[in-house]
Amino acid sequence: MTDFSKDNAPLLEVDRLSVDYSLKAVSARAIENVSFGLRAGEAVALVGESGSGKTTTAMAIAGLLSANALVSGGEVRYRGERLPIDDDAAMRPHRWSETSVVFQGAMNALNPVHRIIKQIAEPCRLKLRMSRGEATARARELLELVGIPADRGTAYPHELSGGMRQRVMIAMALACRPSIVIGDEPTTALDVITQAQILKLLGDLRSRLNLALILITHDLSVVAEACDRVMIMYSGRIVEDGTVGEIFAKPKHPYTKLLIDSIPNPAKGKRMIRPIPGDPPNLVSRPSGCAFHPRCPSAMAVCTTEVPSLDPLGCGRVACHLHQSLTQEDKIAAHA
């Protein structure tokens, strides 16, 4: 049970968070009852196929939800205090200084007509109220911190490689000294070598600055090195949560098993990605019961009607009827 007293609170608590998007005439739930805690310096991965709700979770935590999003349930607490994540103006003092986000595709996020030093100095001036000189000095410091010589700060974004641009994005995310950095697919657009370098940089920064990291990815193979814990999302819910060791060695949820199976493993003769059969559900036509049941090799009758709750199991949590307290008769009947 999470201890909700202020002194004992984790850095971040996401407590039964649900977010809906309004889409023309209807409103649809993108994430449902998402709960987890994050401690200072901890690195957690949020993994799932496209559309599973990873970005929505991240944007809600950072107070960056889009205008058509509604926080329909739950809350987010930072150091024990409820964050006004659904109030743009009230969220302003918290944004970037407590939690910041490194987005995928740095080229789109950077302004092409400004030198990078100026873009890094900007949040220091605005949020930390530094003078122009102080902000430039801080930006030079941040560039060095992310492994870019400070003198390269005069470059424009298009003059840098993809990896360097992503380092600039990380420098910007660190500008206001946040204690949590969320990387939303921060390495997806990069080649494998640069990807490894950026993950190593995030890991180094994490230990140097005692940063807590939430690393979002659709690729389970990138998390093993960089994270302590993995949360698997499917159709807006967390379906499994465990340590990296447990998740890879003993996955409990059938979806997690298939995700791990999909990773190429040349040592075992698996050279290609093995996609999971079937498509993830879309927002407005989510299957009843366990949303994974149409694709699940272990589905039982109960899975089509009852949503499995996310219950503690071992050192983690899992949401699957295979692991819930069904009687033996129920299971036999369900398989029949």
Ligand X SMILES: Nc1ncnc2c1ncn2[C@@H]1O[C@H](COP(=O)(O)OP(=O)(O)O)[C@@H](O)[C@H]1O
Q: Give the binding site for ligand SF4 (CB under 6 A).
A: 253-254, 290, 292-293, 296, 298-300, 303, 308, 320-322
Q: Quick one: which of 18, 33, 52, 119 contacts ligand X (CB under 6 A)?
A: 52
Q: Are the beta carbons of 111 and 45 closer than 8 angstroms?
A: no
Burial call 41-66: b when 16+ CB within 10 Å, e when fewer: ebbbbbbbbebbbbbbbbbbbbbbbe
Nearer to ligand SF4, 183 or 308 (CB): 308
Q: Are the beta carbons of 57 and 46 closer than 8 angstroms?
A: yes
As a whole number of Å, the CA-based R_g of the chain is 21
- Rounded Cα–Cα distance for residues 241 and 234 (Å): 12
Is residue 217 a contact point for ligand X (CB under 6 A)? no
- Distance between start and end Cα atoms, the chain: 37
Nearer to ligand X, 52 or 166 (CB): 52
Question: From the CB of 220, what's the least distance to ligand SF4, in Å?
Answer: 17
Nearer to ligand X, 34 or 169 (CB): 34
Residues 253-282 that bind ligand X (CB under 6 A): 282
Q: State the amino acid at position 69 in one-letter form.
A: A
Q: Quick one: which of 66, 285, 325, 328 contacts ligand X (CB under 6 A)?
A: 66
Is residue 99 a contact point for Mg ion (CB under 5 A)? no
DSSP letters, 106-134, are HHHHS-TTS-HHHHHHHHHHHHS---HHH
Q: Which does 254 bind (CB under 5 to 8 A by kind): Mg ion, ligand SF4, ligand X, none?
A: ligand SF4
The 29-58 site mask, x for binding Mg ion (CB under 5 A), equals --------------------------x---
Continuous segment of H or E residues that includes residue 142: helix 132-145
Biggest CA–CA distance in the chain, Å, is: 74
The 290-309 site mask, x for binding ligand X (CB under 6 A), equals --------------------
The residue ranges that bind Mg ion (CB under 5 A) are 55
The residue ranges that bind ligand X (CB under 6 A) are 21, 23, 30, 48, 50-56, 66, 68, 282-283
